[in-house]
Amino acid sequence: MNNHKLTVRPCVAVFLYTEDGRFLLAEKNRPHNRWQIAQGGVEEGESHAEGARREMREELGLELSHLTPTSLTYIYEWPEVQKKLRGFWGQEVHFFLAKLPTDQKIKYNAADPKEPQNSKLVTLAEAEKLIENPAYFQIIQKLHAQAHQA
């Protein structure tokens, strides 16, 4: 495949945090990079914020009324098989912050095994043990700092 003609897929991720310093990691059903913050692709015609709200609804069953955009982005290359299947070189993730709603329960999308079926509230120290990619963990550290600044 001629990769230099491929573009990146726009993607959004939401760092869902609590007042006590923890945040939500979702577990994907795959062998590597299983743990991440909830994320997904932006559909044509959607803003990043609209995509983030839709993804949280689809993946976790959460309705988020307030999202705070960040200036952080993370671009990564997909494996060759994904490039061929999806027609993109990789993804460019745009990050948002949101307090984890205390009045809603997480509802996983059992009909779609590609979506998370498990999640947990973690500290940064716990997340460091779960997140395999050091560059991705650095983004998580920055999001954590932004979410909990005074």
The pLDDT of residue 1: 47
The pLDDT of residue 115: 87
The pLDDT of residue 48: 97
What is the tens place of the pLDDT at every residue in 23-76?
A: 999 998 877 778 999 999 999 999 999 999 999 999 999 999 899 999 999 999
CA dihedral (127, 129, 130, 132) positive or negative: positive
**Residue 131 pLDDT greater than 60, yes or no:** yes
Least reliable range by pLDDT among 88-102, 107-121, 124-138: 107-121
**Residue 128 pLDDT greater than 50, yes or no:** yes
CATH no. for residue 111? Answer: 3.90.79.10
Of 141 and 1, more confident: 141
State which H helix or E strand residue 53 sits in: helix 48-60
pTM: 0.90
Number of folded domains that form the chain: 1
User: Residue 14 burial by CB count (10 A; 0-12/13-18/19+): exposed, middle or buried?
Assistant: buried
- Band of residue 144 on the pLDDT scale cut at 50, 70, 90: very high
**Residue 112 pLDDT greater than 80, yes or no:** yes
**Residue 4 pLDDT greater than 70, yes or no:** no
Pairing type for strands 39-41 and 23-27 reads unpaired
**Residue 113 pLDDT greater than 70, yes or no:** yes
Domain span at 109: 3-147
What is the tens place of the pLDDT at every residue in 69-109?
A: 999 999 999 888 888 888 899 999 999 999 999 999 999 98
Of 104 and 3, more confident: 104
Task: Count Cβ neighbours within 10 Å for each residue of 15-34 and write b for 16 or more, e otherwise.
Answer: bbbeeeebbbbbebeeeeeb
DSSP for 93-115, written as a single string: EEEEEEEPPSS------TT-TTS
